């Protein structure tokens, strides 16, 4: 197993009482599974900079108000990952699937109905009791 931990940011975008879930597109690792939008932190980026960049690239939005919420470490068979989750309370622009991914706005009580990535399950469960 690779020992380097992959550092990732993820945004929990809110529209009223629903959050956004995106499906990993075909041709990608773990295609068809659901996740929170985000991606890898590039060298020299802060977590916040990576979040802003990833959400711009994936969804075509500009983050206006974010708040760090929690960190989760998960060991996949291929690699370990550390996810930094942010609530995105305010953003500008319509949410668009810039990478062809399916998207759905989910009530917290519905999150467990989707086939979320293992690393996100703890967050999905925590959002139910928020």
DSSP 8-state class, residue 47: H
Q: Please give the residue that has the higher pLDDT: either 81 or 99.
A: 81
Asked if pLDDT for residue 2 goes beyond 50, the answer is no
Which of 18, 45, 43 has its CA nearest to residue 108? Answer: 18
Using one digit for the tens of pLDDT, what is the confidence trace for 15-54?
999 999 999 988 888 888 999 999 999 999 999 999 999 9
> Which tokens belong to 108?
């917290």
> Rg of the chain's alpha carbons, rounded to an integer?
14
Element (H, E) at 122: helix 118-128
| Contact yes or no for 88/63 (Cβ under 8 A) | yes
Note the CATH number of domain 6-128. 3.90.79.10
């Amino acid at each position: 197993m690779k020992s380097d931990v992959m550092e990732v940011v993820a945004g929990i975008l809110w529209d009223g009482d629903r959050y956004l879930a995106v499906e990993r597109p075909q041709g990608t690792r773990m295609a068809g599974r659901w996740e929170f939008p985000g991606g890898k932190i590039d060298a020299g980026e802060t977590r916040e900079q990576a979040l802003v960049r990833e959400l711009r690239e994936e969804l075509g939005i500009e983050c206006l108000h974010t708040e760090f919420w929690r960190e989760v470490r998960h060991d996949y068979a291929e690699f370990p990952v550390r996810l930094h989750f942010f609530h995105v309370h305010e953003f500008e622009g319509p949410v668009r699937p810039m990478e062809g991914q399916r998207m759905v706005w989910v009530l917290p009580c519905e999150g467990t109905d989707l086939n979320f990535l293992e690393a996100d399950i703890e967050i999905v469960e925590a959002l139910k009791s928020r």
